[in-house]
Structures are given as C-alpha cells and as structure tokens.
Amino acid sequence: MTGPNPATSFPLGGIKTLCFLNNVVNLKNVSIGDYTYYDDFENVQNFARNIRYHFEFTGDRLVIGKFCQIASGVEFIMNGGNHLTSGISTFPFSIFGSGWERAMEGKSFPIKGDTIVGNDVWIGYKALIMPGVRIGDGAIIATASIVTKDVPPYAIVGGNPARVLKMRFTDDDIRRLLKLRWWDWSAEKITRNVDLLSSASIEALERCD
C-alpha cells in the first residue's frame, strides 16, 4: 500500500466535492503540490473562481505546497487588485484608456510579490489571504480570518486582521519538524508511518524508517 494516487482528481470516489487540487486546477502562475485537497460545498471549480484579481500582466504567482487542506469559500486576493495609494486619487484611470493612459506614466501599481502557502497548512472556511502573504509549513488559518501578513511555521492564526493565537509546538520542536520535512518523503515511507504522523511524538517520527 502506498496511499491514494496523487494523480486522482477525486480521491473519495463518488464524492465530487473534494478534490486533489493540482489535478483539477490548471491556471497560469498557479502551482499546487501533491495531495493538497480542496473541499467545497457546491463545486470544486469554485477554487479557481476564488483566486481574485489574478491577471496575467501582473506576473504574480500563487504557490501552494503539498498536503494542504483548504476549506470551502477560501479566497486569495492577488496583486491585480492593488491600487495606487501614493497619489491624491486611488482611481485606476489608466485601465480605461481614452486619454487616461498617461495617469500611470512614471508610476506603477503596488506589487507585493507572490503568495506562498507552505506544506501541511490547514486553511479554514472562508478565510481570505491577501497578496504577497507567505504562510509557513504546518500553520493553521482559522475560519473567516483575513490574513494580511506572513504567518510563521506551525502558528495558529485567526481574526481580522489575523494574528498569532498560539504556536502549535515549542521553538525547538518546530525546528525538528522543519528539518524532518515529512511531506517530501516517499509515498511508501509516509504509508509506513502514517500512524506516527497523526501522533504527537516527534521523537518517534525522527526514528522511523
């Protein structure tokens, strides 16, 4: 046994509201790791619709790691939604043309960089991730949170704006887990040790083969 096939779109068989995302979403500048799943109350295609303001000309990427768990209604706001805030008006005159193009001469819209979600991240129902945010491995994003800044590995964040509520492990244990990088193990090794991955014993995980 080597676990579910990562190339399967719907790993629960007849249930079509949960998918392994990288087999369902095929968008330019969006990268999703193996086994990351999305669970939607209506249609898994909603995930692609919930990547907002992701215009090709901005060039920003959404990168999601392996083994992430993404709940229904999660949204990502990308850099295409940014407006110029240093001027008197925030109105995007230039996009309408007809003589307004010169509004952006010598200027550029703010770009906050790629949005990066690490591995084994749980993002709760209707959470909103803002542009350029980096979410560390093993983090948990609480329901309806609005994430406006980077999230440390193995942190639990919640609220609007989201803040760290607690850390899942001690600093030393987090260092050990980040060194283990279990999500990069072979499917065979994960399958052999799946009971340990759902236990609280980091020491046992470090000893496993």
CA dihedral 15, 47, 37, 39 (to 10 degrees): -40
CA distance 7 to 187: 13
The amino acid occupying position 121 is: V
C-alpha atoms less than 13 angstroms from C-alpha of 121 in its C-beta half-sphere: 27
In the numeric block, the tokens 């244990």 are attached to 173
CA distance 148 to 128: 9
- Active-site amino acid positions: 83
The amino acid occupying position 128 is: L
Cα torsion 70, 46, 126, 53: sign? positive
CA distances from 21 to 14, 26, 98, 128, 155 (A): 16, 9, 41, 18, 24
> In whole angstroms, how large is the CA radius of gyration of the chain?
19
